[in-house]
Amino acid sequence: MTDLLSITPPEAQAIVAAWLTARGEPQYRLRQILPRLWQRPIAQWSDASDLPAPLRAALHAEFPLPRLILAARQLSTDGTEKFLWRLGDGEAIESVLIPEGKRRTLCISSQVGCALGCVFCATGQMGWRRNLTAAEIACQVREVEVQGLGARPTNVVFMGMGEPLLNWEAVDKALTLLNHPDGLAIGARHITVSTVGILPSLAALSRRPEQFRLALSLHAPTPHLRRELMPVEKKYALPDVLKALAAWRRRVTLEYVLIADRNDSLEAADALAKLAKPLAAHVNLIPLHPGGAPDLPPSPYARMLAFERRLKSHGVEAVLRRSRGLDISAACGQLRVELEGRPRRKVGAELHAHVD
């Protein structure tokens, strides 16, 4: 059996074409079968009513379609939706759908849990369980359409559970599945990879020819403060990460969660401006979601506005984002923790295993 959702569309085409030839099927069947993977996705081959029943049964036997099971769904009054997906081994991951005008942005996960332990993130507190496969990553988008949860997302951001660049091999292939014209056909400029700055994989991402967007989870303007909030600073120092961003061919977004009395002073804004201006970076200021870190106080709204104004006074393009999903468990990892408790951390230093 072959999982056609785990390989690139050209690979799937070659395999299915050879299989059809071996069965003595007409080659026009290829044009009926392949779109059912990503372009006009189906839940199972029996749903492909334009194919004869014996062929549907043979496809199910040879190329079963793996599924993500929708274990929980929450809908916010602001339109934000949270999905908890059950995987084949019983693990669970989250996606968040954020509608805004004609844009439907799906925030997807790349790992079960996370090894990085950022103090403001519920996922980081649960620890790392395992990497997702390319199919498990891309099928978060596919399942929204297959399960009738609304139209296909127009934008995808790798900002869910996990650090994408610690799972680069699968994320690399998932990017192709999302972007390829015979895949989900989402434009590269509508796909954003968010990272804390895993340098080897960042270099690999920069070598891809597509114009995928990059967001750096910064959250502090100095190495000392960043180390307090994000332990990864010990391994990938801020000066080295900024140097890598300077070599990025396209515009970078800096993500900055505002935490009261930790990183929201005007002095911090001044220091952040000094980092952002040489990169011509856009700064996303993000209110701390209370569900992500209950022990940390969010910055007061007036202080967030003052922080934004201070950045703009330095000529930095900055936007204070509106909090979404405050009435649901929309913080990264929050829904899984609330429904299942904090899973026991997997033994082993996953961060070092993947980047040393």
Residue 3: half-sphere exposure toward Cβ, Cα within 13 Å: 10
Q: How far apart are CA 341 and CA 344, in angstroms?
A: 9
Tell me the DSSP string of 292-320: T-TTSPBPPHHHHHHHHHHHHHTT--EEE
Query: From the centroid of its chain, how far is CA 123?
Result: 13
H or E stretch covering 143: helix 134-146
Q: How far apart are CA 97 and CA 107, in angstroms?
A: 6
Q: Which of 94, 233, 255, 350 is catalytic?
A: 94
Residue with tokens 């081959």: 45
Task: Say whether 269 sits in a helix, a strand or coil.
Answer: helix
Q: How far apart are CA 281 and CA 254, in angstroms?
A: 7
Residue with tokens 């401006």: 273
Nearest Cα to Cα of residue 25 among 65, 60, 59, 48: 59
Q: How far apart are CA 119 and CA 296, in angstroms?
A: 9
Instruction: Kindly give, in sequence order, each residue whose CB lies less than 8 Å from that of residue 216, ignoring residues fewer than 6 positions away.
Output: 194, 195, 196, 197, 241, 245, 252, 253, 254, 255
Q: Which of 114, 118, 121, 332 is catalytic?
A: 332
Q: How far apart are CA 163 and CA 263, in angstroms?
A: 22
Decide if 320 contacts 308 (C-beta within 8 A). yes
Longest Cα–Cα distance of the chain, Å, equals 72
61 DSSP 8-state letter: H
Residue 349, Cβ density class (10 Å: 0-12 exposed, 13-18 middle, ≥19 buried): exposed
94 flagged as catalytic: yes
338 flagged as catalytic: no
**Catalytically active residues, by annotation:** 94, 332
